[in-house]
Structure 1
Amino acid sequence: MRRSARDSEDSARKVNRRALFLGGAMTAMFAVLGARMRYLQVDQADEFKLLAEENRINIRLIPPTRGQIFDRNGRLIAGNEQNYRVVITREDAGDVEAVLRRLADVIPLTEPDIERVMTEAKRHSPFVPIIVADRMAWDDLSKVAINAPSLPGVTPEVGLSRAYPLDTDFAHVVGYVGPVSENDLAKIEDPDPLLKIPEFQIGKIGVETWMEGTLRGKAGTKRIEVNAYGRMMREIDRVEGDAGDDIRLTIDAEIQDFVQARLGAESAAAVAIDVITGDILAICSSPSFDPNLFVRGISFKDYAALTENDHRPLANKAVQGAYPPGSTFKMVTALAALEAGVITPETSVYCPGHYETGGRRFHCWKRGGHGMVSLSRSLSESCDVYYYDIAQRVGIDKIAEMGRRLGLGMRHDLPMSAITEGIMPDKAWKRQRYEQDWRIGDTINASIGQGYVLASPLQLAVMTARVASGRAVQPRLVRSVGDSELPVPEAPPLGVDGSLLRSVRQGMYAVINERRGTGHTNRIVDPALVMAGKSGTSQVRNISAAERARGVISNDQLPWNRRDHALFVGFAPFDAPRVAVAVVVEHGGGGSSVAGPIVRDVILRCLTPGPLPPLSAYPQSQRARIETLLTSLPLRKIEPEVTTRSRA
């Protein structure tokens, strides 16, 4: 059927209208798209360019070189050595285990090593390098480089690692570094981003941790181009960080080595301090350990050997150990009584061998007694009854106050770990600690450094330095930081009358230099180096009345851990004191026979040049024995002063 002309015209008009509508809609759509494209490409071009750059460019931290630690004469104690190591990147390796087993054919790798790396790889992002082997020999590193084509993802690297060339000599002082742990991060409110770098190491104990901020330095940065997975494609630029500051200690490495060797295998501690400046010349704890083991990753066997040793090599006995000071405390009681005016240096007390009060009998170490005893003789022969008597007259509060003035019962501020305050008890302390009243027997025990009184070797050295100088000497361990020498403030007067101090010092002189003195065998015969001191023997067990009646068991018949502690303190030269020394030998027995000879040797080593004390300073009758002892000491050859920082 043919359409009419009218119908054809109507259809044509409808098609034209629809075409115009569709064309207009398409034009409008393209206009919107064009406007949007202009907005994104022109108006927002800078913003999107920035976003694109941020996706393409990463900023990573460059660990700084750790500051080094030196002794007072510039000898290296803690430094940085070149370290060859191999790392693996999971993203590049593909089958990590297969690559590791191929690597084990090239360098020594144990099954536990492979398991450790596999575990670490799973914990970190695929592009984070995991250390496979550390502190490698150059030959092994070369083998890895040669076999690189068959070891995808494995990269040989050269870096720096902490090293302690004098190992056991400074383990308790300097400490060691180790990888940052979750526990370390939990202790820091706003941790440095450096601490989150895998395997980054920080100080764990000793100077390394207490001066971490100074030694660590500031990180540098590098800009790298990465792909969509975060893998580094190339380094664009870098800004090096600031190395940590070097630190110089007050300790003399040669004296430290001598003291550590002189303590030998004893469970003991020794501190030598400059009487004028407070500089610590040596501070040793024995037995010691090798801190390099912890840096490299200590084995279970080595760690068990340290923790299961009854001589506690990991403990720094010089500052952490708190011991009954025994008769070395008698100077405190004497000065308190002198200052209070309850005695004079000439006051005498009768010693029948015991002291009775409150229905109890307190014994003197000399069973038959000392007879009439003055201050000088009480110190020289270490009469206990003399101090029982005068302590009752002066009272514990004044004794405690004098003890604190001499440096006991307080924490000395040094960059070392777990420094003890010790205990300098008084009436208020016992009420607070035990909710009990102070008793007469407590005062008697405290008067001779027993009972509640506890002190560290560091505190005993400070006490001796203050008695010797008459000033409130403060111990110090750090001599300089970076290029800045730390000032040495003049110690203020102790506040004790000089004549009273001279009386006590005269008693300490008699201990060593009078024939009946308890330390006479430890005398120094060189007139320019004459020593004064005080012995101490502190009990670690109670002696029953029955044992005392049948005879006290001698130390050498007791198990080691039931024997008395041996203590000795001394200073020299007597007329112009320069060095004070304190030694504690755990369960060593007699203070004069065990600790006294060590104190004399340390004082002579501090005051004279050369690797060994001069034999001429010892009594003639002792020289052959002393020469044998000194020449058998395992002294190391200390490297000369290091004047440049290792940047390898």
Structure 2
Amino acid sequence: MKRTDREKELSRRLITRRALGLGAIKLVVTGALLWRLRDMQLEQADAFRLLAEENRINLRLLPPTRGLIHDRNGVLLAGNEQNYRVVITRDDAGDIDLVLGRLQKLIGLPDDTIARAREDMLRNRPFVPITVAERLSWEEISAVAANAPALPGVTPEMGLSRVYPLTEDLSHVVGYVGPVSDQDLAREQDPDPVLMIPRFQIGKSGVEREAEARLRGKAGSQRVEVNSVGRVMRELDRVGGEPGETLHLTIDARLQNYAMARLEGQSAAAVVIDIESGDILASASAPSYDANLFVRGISSKNYNALLENEYRPLVNKCVQGMYPPGSTFKMVTALAALDAAETDGRERVFCPGHMDVSGNRFHCWKRSGHGRVDLVAALSESCDVYFYEMSQRCGIDRINAMAERLGIGIRYQLPLTSVAAGLNPSREWKARTRDADWRIGDTVNVSIGQGYVLTTPLQLAIMTARLASNRAVVPRLLRDPLERAVPQAASLDLRPEWLDMIRRGMAQSVNDRRGTAYSSRVVEPTMAMAGKTGTSQVFRITQAERDAGIRRQEDLPWNRRNHALFVNFAPLDNPRVAVAVIVEHGGGGSTAAAPIGRDILLAALNDGRPPLAAYPTAQRNRISAEQTEMENRLRDLGSFRVSRA
């Protein structure tokens, strides 16, 4: 059918509009493509160049800054120092033997260092950076940077390494860090990715280990451009990590330093407790070791020397060492008898120098006997027979309960490695572990701190603090520097008249001429102390040895002599500080441990330096000479004080 002119005109207009629409669309698309092409070639050229075949982008973890550890006054105990190191990435190095050989010649690395780096590279994924060497000098790190084109995959870096400014003073408390081991990873249920960084260091002992989660922090990340030879061209992006938490210990570094200096030359331990708060002011275990050696990589020779030392410098004797408490346990027996109403404390017991129990003779340390003594005199003169008698009256069950009440046999929750519980023996314990019945002779032995009972110096310090305060003092090692007051410990509910007799007995032990620690008294009334000596038998001198002429402890080899102990608190009228001292194989508590306990207590009351006026006049020349000799071993901690806590 023939179309009219009008229909033809409408058709032409429709085609024209469609053509214009299509043309406009083509123009827009073409313009967009041209704009995108310009943007890619000019504006985003750098970004696309990174995606070229000869370059790649690497994502690296950035180790977090480890948290600091301060003492109660802001003295730095564990910090971080700059550490220049060289790392290598196998994926970028190509011929690792060639690159390692060049690096070895350039900065003179030992063969074992190169061998260890090669092992680390083969054990880890190709893209993981491996630390080849650290603690390099500025000249060495500069030489590596200048020769980067010849060392593909090698990157010079500056990191942080742990350092312990006070070296040996707090090694047993603060501990040390070391590289992550397979055993460390096995203990982690969901290992932090940062632990996979080769030679990343974590806490291995002490607070460093027990507070690892708080000290470690969280890793950051870094994106870098690496060219075809493995050289880092530039950093593209960095997300900072979170540094570890700064911890404040209850330790007073000045007092700790004095205690370590005072124990020098001995295999010994001393613990100082703030009676009001339970703060551990000092925890000294001698001899010690330099924790920095473990951070930097201790040699086999040095490590074996520590292991073979008969004084056991690697052991924290304050919380790991377990010893018979000897006569320092007699306060427990006395309170158990009072609590059982088996004595009023004023009753006198006759001591002929021995007691026969079940066909066995138990001797008093004073073979001629003490005559008639009440509780106060028995503590002051340390009469064994009195406590033999009291133990038979009250029995082991009462003694066990009172020992627990005073803190014996308890594993305290402290951020320290291997805190021992000691041993507070009971009928059930012997039946379970020895498959034997408890005997009355066992009770007699325990009554004077021998037999099965074992304590740590920390427990003895806690026992002394509880006796001085009648409160269930609990030790603590970490403190909040912003805290205003420490909640008061719960009452022990021991009758004041009982504790009055115990404290008078301990006071007379130090201040009465017949007391076992009289030579270690304090003459300054405001610092007068109460204390109790103890001597725990390690080996008994046999009849054969007596026949051979061995009569005294001094005649025995060192490791067969008795342990010497001393516990004390001061001031008498308002007790603030409690101290416990153990000198391994030191002989008698009155001669070996008591003088140390007195000196450390006076240091605790006088900002780390005992005043000469507190000593008896006849002793001052000797004490002055000893203090002068110690001055070289005492630190001026001013330069280590970072901030006032």
Inter-partner Cα distance in structure 1 for 2:531 and 2:183: 45
Aligned to 1:115: 115
How many residues are matched? 591
The verdict on how the C-alpha distance between 1:547 and 1:644 changes in structure 2, with shifts beyond 3 A counting, is closer
Residue 419 (structure 1) shift: 0.4
The verdict on how the C-alpha distance between 1:191 and 1:152 changes in structure 2, with shifts beyond 3 A counting, is closer
Aligned to 1:439: 439
Aligned to 1:405: 405
Aligned to 1:576: 574
Secondary structure of the residue aligned to 1:116 is: helix
Secondary structure of the residue aligned to 1:517 is: coil
Find out whether 1:495 has 2:479 as its counterpart.
no
Aligned to 2:636: 637
Aligned partner of 1:620 among 617, 624, 641: 617
The aligned runs of 1:296-307 (5 Å cut-off) are 296-307=296-307
**AA at the equivalent of 1:211:** A
The aligned runs of 1:19-418 (5 Å cut-off) are 59-224=59-224, 235-418=235-418
Inter-partner Cα distance in structure 2 for 1:560 and 1:122: 50
> Which whole-Å deviations, capped at 9, do the CAs of 1:219-249 have from their partners, x for residues lacking one?
2233456799999775432221211110001
The verdict on how the C-alpha distance between 1:141 and 1:531 changes in structure 2, with shifts beyond 3 A counting, is same
Find out whether 1:475 has 2:475 as its counterpart.
yes
Contact 1:127/1:230 (<8 A) preserved = no
> Which whole-Å deviations, capped at 9, do the CAs of 1:273-331 have from their partners, x for residues lacking one?
00111111100111101111111111111111111111111110000000000000000
| RMSD over equivalenced CA pairs, Å | 2.5
Secondary structure of the residue aligned to 1:77 is: strand
Residue 60 (structure 1) shift: 3.9
The verdict on how the C-alpha distance between 1:228 and 1:191 changes in structure 2, with shifts beyond 3 A counting, is farther
Residue 417 (structure 1) shift: 0.6
Residue 428 (structure 1) shift: 1.4
Inter-partner Cα distance in structure 2 for 1:84 and 1:236: 22
Inter-partner Cα distance in structure 2 for 1:60 and 1:495: 60
**AA at the equivalent of 1:392:** Q
Secondary structure of the residue aligned to 1:86 is: strand
Contact 1:567/1:596 (<8 A) preserved = yes
Contact 1:97/1:114 (<8 A) preserved = no
The verdict on how the C-alpha distance between 1:312 and 1:640 changes in structure 2, with shifts beyond 3 A counting, is closer
Residue 97 (structure 1) shift: 3.3
Q: Mark the runs of 5 or more structure 2 residues left unpaired by the alignment.
A: 1-50
Q: Which stretch of structure 1 is more off in the superposition, 286-295 or 232-241?
A: 232-241
Residue 554 (structure 1) shift: 1.1
Aligned partner of 1:554 among 552, 555, 563: 552
Find out whether 1:506 has 2:504 as its counterpart.
yes
Inter-partner Cα distance in structure 2 for 1:551 and 1:225: 82
> Which whole-Å deviations, capped at 9, do the CAs of 1:364-411 have from their partners, x for residues lacking one?
111111111111111111111110011000001101100001000111
TM-score norm. by structure 1 comes to 0.87
Aligned to 2:35: none
Residue 561 (structure 1) shift: 0.6
Aligned partner of 1:586 among 578, 584, 587: 584
Contact 2:154/2:231 (<8 A) preserved = no
The verdict on how the C-alpha distance between 1:383 and 1:220 changes in structure 2, with shifts beyond 3 A counting, is same
Secondary structure of the residue aligned to 1:390 is: helix
Residue 162 (structure 1) shift: 0.8
> Which whole-Å deviations, capped at 9, do the CAs of 1:323-382 have from their partners, x for residues lacking one?
000000000000111111111121111111111011110111111111111111111111
Contact 2:86/2:154 (<8 A) preserved = yes
Secondary structure of the residue aligned to 1:289 is: coil
The verdict on how the C-alpha distance between 1:314 and 1:78 changes in structure 2, with shifts beyond 3 A counting, is same
Contact 2:153/2:230 (<8 A) preserved = no
Residue 643 (structure 1) shift: 3.2
Secondary structure of the residue aligned to 2:168 is: helix
Inter-partner Cα distance in structure 2 for 1:285 and 1:98: 49
Residue 629 (structure 1) shift: 1.1
Residue 507 (structure 1) shift: 0.0
Inter-partner Cα distance in structure 2 for 1:581 and 1:594: 15
Inter-partner Cα distance in structure 2 for 1:148 and 1:233: 11
Q: Mark the runs of 5 or more structure 1 residues left unpaired by the alignment.
A: 1-51
Secondary structure of the residue aligned to 2:127 is: coil
**AA at the equivalent of 1:216:** R
Inter-partner Cα distance in structure 2 for 1:407 and 1:134: 47
Aligned to 1:457: 457
Inter-partner Cα distance in structure 1 for 2:58 and 2:130: 20
Inter-partner Cα distance in structure 1 for 2:642 and 2:199: 28
**AA at the equivalent of 1:593:** T
> Which whole-Å deviations, capped at 9, do the CAs of 1:120-145 have from their partners, x for residues lacking one?
22222333322222112223222333
Inter-partner Cα distance in structure 2 for 1:505 and 1:227: 78
**AA at the equivalent of 1:497:** R
The verdict on how the C-alpha distance between 1:59 and 1:487 changes in structure 2, with shifts beyond 3 A counting, is farther
Inter-partner Cα distance in structure 2 for 1:431 and 1:617: 50
Residue 149 (structure 1) shift: 4.0
Inter-partner Cα distance in structure 2 for 1:226 and 1:184: 32
Aligned to 1:49: none
The verdict on how the C-alpha distance between 1:644 and 1:317 changes in structure 2, with shifts beyond 3 A counting, is closer
Aligned to 2:8: none
Secondary structure of the residue aligned to 1:569 is: strand
Q: Which stretch of structure 1 is more off in the superposition, 280-289 or 58-67?
A: 58-67
TM-score norm. by structure 2 comes to 0.87
The verdict on how the C-alpha distance between 1:56 and 1:97 changes in structure 2, with shifts beyond 3 A counting, is closer
Inter-partner Cα distance in structure 1 for 2:151 and 2:190: 40
Inter-partner Cα distance in structure 1 for 2:348 and 2:123: 76
Secondary structure of the residue aligned to 2:136 is: coil
The verdict on how the C-alpha distance between 1:134 and 1:57 changes in structure 2, with shifts beyond 3 A counting, is closer
Inter-partner Cα distance in structure 2 for 1:343 and 1:545: 37
Inter-partner Cα distance in structure 2 for 1:286 and 1:202: 25
